[in-house]
């Protein structure tokens, strides 16, 4: 198992778990707020739609194409 922090909450996940899955385990699975104020969650699951962009260890990354790592800090976008 790996331990990471998602929006301030610490959780353990299996090796190979995507950050998109970890976001759903830690909360409501939402990743960002759209330009008109709607909350959004991963859509395509394969790196096309960019809905799942979040901040991972300070950099903007796609949650669906990033595997969780020990000590990772994930923040959804307000």
How far apart, in whole angstroms, are the C-alpha atoms of residue 19 and residue 23? Answer: 6
Shortest distance (Å) from residue 15 CB to other proteins: 7
* Separation between Cα atoms, residue 68 and residue 19, nearest integer Å: 6
CA nearest to 74, candidates 39, 34, 32:
32
Helical segments of the chain, H only: 19-26
Contact stretch for other proteins (CB under 8 A) within 3-11, 12-20, 70-78: 12-20
Span interacting with other proteins, options 4-12, 22-30, 70-78, rule CB under 8 A: 22-30
Assess 16 for contact with other proteins (CB under 8 A): yes
Which spans of this chain sit near other proteins (rule: CB under 8 A)? 13-18, 20-22, 24-25, 28-30, 34-36, 38-51, 53, 59-61, 64-67
């Amino acid at each position: 198992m790996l331990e990471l922090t998602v929006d301030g909450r610490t959780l353990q996940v299996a090796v190979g778990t995507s950050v998109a899955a970890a976001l759903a385990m830690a909360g409501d699975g939402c990743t960002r707020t759209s330009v008109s104020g709607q909350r959004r969650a991963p859509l395509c699951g394969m790196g096309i739609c960019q809905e799942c962009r979040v901040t991972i260890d300070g950099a903007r990354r796609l949650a669906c194409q990033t595997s969780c790592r020990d000590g990772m800090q994930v923040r959804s976008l307000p």
